[in-house]
Amino acid sequence: DSDLVYLYNAASLLVLPSLQEGFGLPAMEALACGAPVAASSTGSLPEILGESAQYFDPQNQDEMCRIIRKILADQNLAQKMKENGLQRAAQYSWTKASQQALSIFREMTGR
C-alpha cells in the first residue's frame, strides 16, 4: 500500500509496544523504509529485529518514554538504527521465505 510506505518513509520513529507479537511485520516494514524502531522486549520482536531496534518493557511507561526520547534526541543513534534496520530488513523477503519452505518440504518428502 503506497500510503503505508509514505508514512513509514516520513516517520521519525515507529513504536511497537506489543505485549505479544508474531513476526512483527509492521516493524520490519518500517525498517525496510528506513524508520528507526523502538519495540517491546517481549515476544518474538528481539529475535526478529535483532540489534536494529531499541527495546523496552511494554508494561513500563517510563522506560518506553526514555527509549523514545533517547532515539529522537540522538540523530547519530537514529542514523545508525536506520542503517542497521535497512540491512536487517534486506535479510527477509517473501522469495527467501518461500525458497526456504520449499527446501524443507523437499527434504521432508525426499523430492
Instruction: Indicate if the pLDDT at residue 78 is higher than 90.
Output: yes
Element (H, E) at 102: helix 94-109
The domain total for the chain is 1
pTM to 2 decimal places:
0.81
Q: Which residue, 105, 30, 21, 23, is CA-closest to 71?
A: 30
Residue 53 pairs with which residues in a beta bridge? 37
Instruction: Indicate if the pLDDT at residue 111 is higher than 80.
Output: no
Sheet with strand 37-40: strands edge to edge: 14-16, 37-40, 53-56
CATH classification of the domain holding 95: 3.40.50.2000
Q: 15-46 pLDDT, tens per residue?
A: 999 988 878 899 999 999 999 999 999 989 99
Structural domain harbouring 31: 2-109
> Grid coordinates representing 41?
522486549
